[in-house]
Amino acid sequence: MDKSIVKAGTILIAEPFMLDSPFKRAVILICEHRNDGSVGFILNKSIDMRLEELLGEFPEFDAPVYYGGPVATDTIHYIHNVGDLLDNSNEVTRGVYWGGDFEKLKFLIDSKLIKPENIKFFIGYTGWSEGQLGEEIKEGTWITDHMYANYAFKDDKKELWTTVLNNKGDTYTVIAQMPESPSFN
């Protein structure tokens, strides 16, 4: 993928020496990319919270909650693979949708038509202002690639950073083998 082209459905893979803790070894799905900025969610940083703690009137549902990013951490967002069932969903890329009618979401969960493996909830999001993401990519902060639905809904979240780099191939497979702590090199 040409690293200068970012669009909805692009994933950002944190470069291996990024020490900024929220983004260390992060894999971020870009859900919206416009001239005035970008919005994405960190796919591989789960947090120890339950939906019932965050949402008062919500059906019992055993789905993990993720840290979407440092912006608006008082908001909840979701991506899913059931865009055909959930009205007003925005297709991000093949097999991955963002948002949708929240009341219908609750109904579908209560009716057991949406299962935990179909959806991912996030507290907050990651955002960039106009031109900021492009500059970070030019500086080498992020490696870009295409998003595959399995990255969000099937792959092991603890190994996602390594998996994505291995799938990218070539020199990225070498980067994927780097230990998390530079002192282990």
* pLDDT tens by residue, 42-82: 999 999 988 888 888 899 898 889 999 999 999 999 999 99
pLDDT tens figures, 23-47: 999 999 999 999 999 999 999 999 9
Domain residue limits, the chain: 10-184
| CATH number of the structural domain 10-184 | 3.40.1740.10
DSSP string, 82-144: -TTTSTT-EEEETTEEE---HHHHHHHHHTTSS-GGGEEEEEEEEEEETTHHHHHHHTTSEEE
pLDDT of residue 18: 85
- Of 83-92, 108-117, 123-132, 149-158, give the lowest mean pLDDT range: 149-158
pLDDT above 80 for 20: no
Q: In this model, does residue 85 exceed pLDDT 70?
A: yes
